[in-house]
Structure 1
Amino acid sequence: MSKITRTGSNQILSSAVEYHNFVYLAGITADDLSQDITGQTRQVVAKINALLEANGTDTTRLLQAQIWLKDIRDRDAMNKVWVEWLGDAGRPARACVQANMADPRHLVEIMITACK
């Protein structure tokens, strides 16, 4: 039977799950909710970097991204940070939609699937 590794687990979810050299990240949100979309997106991608590194991978191995924005009009500002963050790394398959957030102060949430 293949091993499943869960990290950052609580009663509701795990921050990351690894299975067969695939790494699935939970939806990642910012900690400082007083920030605008640029600040929150920077926090989110920094947290994603840390989770990817902790699981032995990086942005060059991204497969898929799901992005939820509180306001779709923030897409261009979020994309500026996104493009800067990815640099020359390969682009994942991606969806970006507007959504009602669990906490109205959250402006962006990003969920990633990567491989090792």
Structure 2
Amino acid sequence: MSSPIERTGTTQRWSDTVTHNQTVYLCEVPEDPKADIAGQTLNVLGLLEARLKEAGSSKSRILSCTIFITDRAHIAKFNELWDAWVPEGCAPVRACVVADLLNPDWKVEIQMTAAVA
């Protein structure tokens, strides 16, 4: 028997989260595209933390993360905020990509995978 797939916030184009086999997949973009890199980063991390909690996970259970950032000049500020957000000893596998995001005002987008408790 196959494991169920659970989706939240599903639209025709995406779901807020997809959970399968005790693993949750999620992605977030900034709510305020006019904010600076610090504001957008803190917003996205907060949204991700809330989604993780809703899915029965937490930031200490993140397995992997892909960060899309629009400007190399923003990586130092992003890393400062990321390092303060990730619990010590719980850093996930991570990739950071310089990318041209769909909304030209977005400075960061984060996709992650986490274990569900």
Pairwise TM-score range, normalised by the shorter structure: over 0.9
Q: Which amino acid aligns with 1:2?
A: S
**C-alpha offsets along residues 29-57 of structure 1, whole Å, 9 cap, x if unaligned?**
11011110000000000000010000000
* SS in structure 2 of the partner of residue 24 of structure 1: strand
Equivalent position of 2:62 in the other structure:
62
Q: Among the aligned pairs, what percent are the same residue?
A: 35
Equivalent position of 1:49 in the other structure:
49
Equivalent position of 1:13 in the other structure:
14
**C-alpha offsets along residues 35-93 of structure 1, whole Å, 9 cap, x if unaligned?**
10000000000000010000000011010000000112100100111011113250000
Structure 1 vs Structure 2 CA RMSD: 0.9
Equivalent position of 1:23 in the other structure:
24
Matched residue pairs, number?
A: 115
Equivalent position of 1:36 in the other structure:
36
Q: Which amino acid aligns with 1:57?
A: S
Task: For structure 2, list consecutive stretches of 5 or more residues without a partner in the other structure.
Answer: none
Distance 2:88 2:70 in 1: 28
Q: Which amino acid aligns with 1:4?
A: I
* SS in structure 2 of the partner of residue 66 of structure 1: strand
Give the alignment's TM-score, normalised by structure 2.
0.95
Equivalent position of 1:97 in the other structure:
97
Segments of 4+ in structure 1 off by > 4 A? none
* SS in structure 1 of the partner of residue 52 of structure 2: helix
